[in-house]
Structure 1
Amino acid sequence: MKVASTETGFDVETVRKDFPILSRKVNGYPLVYFDNAATSQTPQQVIDTIVDYYSRYNANIHRGVHSLSQEATDAYEQARLKIRKHFNAAKSHEIIFTAGTTHAINLVASGFSALIKEGEEVIVSALEHHSNIVPWQMLCEKTGAVLKVIPMNDNGTLNMNEFQNLLSEKTKLVFVNHVSNALGTVNPVKEIIEKAHGVGAAVLLDGAQAAPHIKADVQELDVDFYTVSAHKMCGPTGVGVLYGKEEWLKKLPPYQGGGEMISTVTFEKTTYADLPHKFEAGTPNICGGIAFGAALDYMNGIGFEKIAAYEHELLDYATVKLLEIEGLRIYGTSEEKTAVISFNIGDLHPYDIGTIIDKLGVAVRTGHHCAQPVMDYYKIPGTVRASFAFYNTKEEIDIFIEAVKRAKNMLS
């Protein structure tokens, strides 16, 4: 496929050569991968890092005196430093390796169950992924705290006036996604953090959907907790990060007990290790952490400003093309959004559209995207979600548009 030049001058043709999966065919058609919000593809540079680990220095970390263990430990801790630098955390021990964003959110929720009291309040937004709803419901059921919800507007933004009305001296925690996974809306997180801090509440941002597109500065945001998953950022599945301010991480009790997270153990008394090991019980995903560092190296080598500019070019192009299809409605029309388009065509079921265009080699996500309250707001069963990454092209969007038109004709 010949790739045309881009308005931003982004060299997508060279970038695409780094992703071996993009050269494969699906059902006899060249793969058009527009499911990047679910998981991004992995460049050869990261694949090579994974192979190198298992080929040359696969060993357990932190406890071994032999050379392989020391090499693995050095590489793993170097990855932690890369992540600290990328998100501009003040200290490397504020970076906690997790199994992903969901694990990180549950870690914080579990910790706060020991700190929050009956009648105190927790605020989430109507735009949340289920992983940023269910843990807080469980927390409230366990503690007697009250869950409140920031309502959304028809364009997929949050009602900030209502958020202000929800805040009070009872508010102890505020949890919102930086970017909506279902709609692509970029939330006004700086304002949310400032207002929440104004009443003494802590703030956790679910950064899973933001991190591939926005280089968040946790100190500039002044956020208390920030979570990400490597597999959204060209890295492997099964690894992610929780950033937490040191003062908060020291307050939270350990999430899991086991090896690595202890200082001393007797049958009478156990004392816990210092940060970050207090929250990293057991053998971690060593290779995953190292590969996450390599993925950040790769994306920073391209440049997040260049990535964002090019992805916005793709978003604008696809939006115009899709809206030319009669009966198509886009959900989530905020002026501030990432390269995600959720849509339906009339009363056609999104699953049927997704199934047909898959036969033509086009991969999208259909359903409620683990954001059922968003779909309930619009009174729909789900949407077709096309999500773009910096290795996608306008030519792929053209193929996608023709596939959607064909699906519409077949189903109408």
Structure 2
Amino acid sequence: MTPDLFGRHRAVLPDWLALYYEDPLEITHGEGRHVWDAAGNKYLDFFGGILTTMTAHGLPEVAKAVGEQAGRILHSSTLYLNRPMVELAERVACLSGIPDARVFFTTSGTEANDTALLLATAYRRSNTILAMRNSYHGRSFSAVGVTGNRGWSPTSLSPLQTLYVHGGVRTRGPYAHLDDREFTDACVDDLKDLLGHTRAPAALIAEPVQGVGGFTSPPDGLYAAFREVLHERDILWIADEVQTGWGRTGEHFWGWQAHGQNGPPDIVTFAKGIGNGMSVGGVVARAEIMNCLDSNSISTFGGTQVTMAAGLANLAYLLEHDLQGNARRVGGLLLERLRAVAARVPHVREVRGRGLMIGVELTRPGTDEAAPEAASAVLEEARAGGLLIGKGGGHDTSALRIAPPMSLTVAEAEEGAAILERALRSV
């Protein structure tokens, strides 16, 4: 990146718009699992534009679909029938597992979660929302209001009353010492106690794997146990699948399926990977919930033809090439490789994750104290070695986030792990 561009960026964009690296990076093009910067340096991409480049950079099938659709018409709004939108909605409804599903498309995960909160509060006639500690749900006023990660919640002036539930982080907090069964039971008891002290909430919103929170997750079945308690009280369950959807976790197509013993969620939100870089988000819900709004509404840019064409082509590629299976196989190898590395690096507290969604939490050696400066140093060293990764975590951004495109090969996984090992050892 040229200093001139950095100066222009700072002159016209907000100070709170975060940039990675001491010397910010300008990415000019990409192919497969690699990207190049303005100076011609090549990088193995293990973050995919924040889990958004799901299949591959420069995927010909998506580029072709976008080009062909752009040559016909880019946009008309939801005021007119839109064939690509109907076709993608049909596919998503079928894949969602929700009976009698209806789909509403948005332009982002933030807008998807905002819509889900609107639906839930209107349907239940309550502005009380349950959310998970350490969670992140987006940048809008309502999404910030249910975000349980203080580093990403700049205001408490929310239209919602939010109550935070324990359970999203398995290895920290008052129940960390318990086994999985005892942990789940304790979290359920905590939820029941909380519900005994408040008016009936509209919904629980939860990420099956907390993304910005550092790829943390509860034991399998925790949200199923929560669902039992919620169902008895007619409280809805919103699964935020913005980062976990489309098979990224390997074992399941949706993250909620690790907790699906009592059926699917009432509402599922999605975004990021489905567009492979195009602005696509959405909400899936039972018809009675989706249709509960009694006023007019449209979406100017949600579901526009060119983004729907990209989504259709990208989803078809993902399914036809079994990228969920690839995420399970290659992600499993990468996870074990990184755990072996971590055993020899004192700064690493934990390597966790599922499929191609892996977190490496760093602490000061011999303690549980977060080490955000170490995470930043590893990020820089990885870049110097030709690898792009992310960072996050609810404890002062001390977790590295690894989420490559789901077409990652075994050789690329080994290459990335070797670069990351050198970066970790340099701290």
Would you call these one fold, judging by a TM-score over 0.5?
Answer: yes
Give, in whole Å, the separation in 1 of the partners of 2:314 and 2:236. Answer: 30
Equivalent residue for 1:343?
A: 361
Any residues of structure 2 matched to 1:13-412 within 5 Å, and which? 20-22=31-33, 25=36, 30-36=42-48, 38-40=51-53, 41-42=56-57, 43-58=59-74, 60=76, 73-91=82-100, 94-112=102-120, 121-131=128-138, 134-136=144-146, 141-142=158-159, 145=161, 147-155=163-171, 159-168=187-196, 170-181=200-211, 182-185=214-217, 188=221, 189-213=223-247, 214-216=252-254, 221-229=263-271, 231-233=272-274, 235-253=276-294, 272=296, 278-281=297-300, 284-303=303-322, 306-331=325-350, 333=352, 339-344=357-362, 346=364, 347=371, 348-368=373-393, 374-375=394-395, 380-408=396-424, 410-411=426-427
- CA drift of 1:163 comes to 2.8
- CA drift of 1:123 comes to 1.4
Equivalent residue for 2:176?
A: none
| Structure 2 spans left out of the alignment, 5+ residues | 1-29, 148-154, 173-182, 365-370
Question: How well do the aligned residues superpose, as a CA RMSD in angstroms?
Answer: 3.5
Once the two structures are superposed, what CA deviation does each residue of 1:32-56 show, in whole Å capped at 9, x if it has no partner? 2111453224422112111111123
- CA drift of 1:102 comes to 1.0
Give, in whole Å, the separation in 1 of the partners of 2:302 and 2:352. Answer: 44
Give, in whole Å, the separation in 2 of the partners of 1:50 and 1:33. Answer: 23
Give, in whole Å, the separation in 2 of the partners of 1:165 and 1:389. Answer: 41
Give, in whole Å, the separation in 2 of the partners of 1:403 and 1:305. Answer: 25
Rg larger in structure: 1
Once the two structures are superposed, what CA deviation does each residue of 1:146-192 show, in whole Å capped at 9, x if it has no partner? 52332555526873442343334733321111222122526633333
- TM-score when normalising by structure 1: 0.72
Give, in whole Å, the separation in 2 of the partners of 1:383 and 1:177. Answer: 17
Identity fraction in percent: 12
> Residue 251 of structure 1: SS of its match in structure 2?
coil
Query: Closer, same or farther in 2 for the Cα pair 1:383/1:199, shift >3 Å?
Result: same
> In the alignment, is the contact (CA less than 8 A) between 1:318 and 1:397 conserved in 2?
no
Give, in whole Å, the separation in 1 of the partners of 2:162 and 2:171. Answer: 27
Give, in whole Å, the separation in 2 of the partners of 1:101 and 1:85. Answer: 20
Query: Closer, same or farther in 2 for the Cα pair 1:167/1:398, shift >3 Å?
Result: same
> Residue 209 of structure 2: SS of its match in structure 1?
coil
Query: Closer, same or farther in 2 for the Cα pair 1:319/1:330, shift >3 Å?
Result: farther
> Residue 327 of structure 1: SS of its match in structure 2?
coil
- CA drift of 1:405 comes to 4.2
> In the alignment, is the contact (CA less than 8 A) between 2:93 and 2:103 conserved in 1?
yes
Once the two structures are superposed, what CA deviation does each residue of 1:97-138 show, in whole Å capped at 9, x if it has no partner? 0112210111232455556678x7421111411428624378
> Residue 91 of structure 2: SS of its match in structure 1?
helix
> Residue 129 of structure 1: SS of its match in structure 2?
coil
> In the alignment, is the contact (CA less than 8 A) between 1:87 and 1:215 conserved in 2?
no
The AA in structure 1 aligned to 2:283 is L
- TM-score when normalising by structure 2: 0.69
> In the alignment, is the contact (CA less than 8 A) between 1:175 and 1:205 conserved in 2?
yes
> Residue 171 of structure 1: SS of its match in structure 2?
coil
Once the two structures are superposed, what CA deviation does each residue of 1:364-397 show, in whole Å capped at 9, x if it has no partner? 00244xxxxx22xxxx442222224432234334
- CA drift of 1:31 comes to 2.6
Pick which of 282-291 and 148-157 moved more. Answer: 148-157
> In the alignment, is the contact (CA less than 8 A) between 1:33 and 1:362 conserved in 2?
yes
The AA in structure 2 aligned to 1:83 is V
Give, in whole Å, the separation in 2 of the partners of 1:344 and 1:35. Answer: 18
> In the alignment, is the contact (CA less than 8 A) between 1:100 and 1:238 conserved in 2?
yes
Query: Closer, same or farther in 2 for the Cα pair 1:198/1:345, shift >3 Å?
Result: same
| Structure 1 spans left out of the alignment, 5+ residues | 1-18, 65-69, 255-271, 273-277, 369-373
Once the two structures are superposed, what CA deviation does each residue of 1:321-346 show, in whole Å capped at 9, x if it has no partner? 32243213244647x67631223264
> In the alignment, is the contact (CA less than 8 A) between 2:45 and 2:388 conserved in 1?
yes
Give, in whole Å, the separation in 1 of the partners of 2:421 and 2:133. Answer: 32
- CA drift of 1:194 comes to 2.7
- CA drift of 1:283 comes to 6.9
> Residue 203 of structure 1: SS of its match in structure 2?
strand
Give, in whole Å, the separation in 2 of the partners of 1:77 and 1:88. Answer: 18
The AA in structure 2 aligned to 1:242 is V
> In the alignment, is the contact (CA less than 8 A) between 1:226 and 1:244 conserved in 2?
yes
- CA drift of 1:29 comes to 6.0
Give, in whole Å, the separation in 2 of the partners of 1:194 and 1:60. Answer: 43
The AA in structure 2 aligned to 1:215 is F
Pick which of 169-178 and 218-227 moved more. Answer: 218-227
> In the alignment, is the contact (CA less than 8 A) between 2:110 and 2:143 conserved in 1?
no
Give, in whole Å, the separation in 1 of the partners of 2:323 and 2:422. Answer: 35
Give, in whole Å, the separation in 2 of the partners of 1:80 and 1:365. Answer: 31
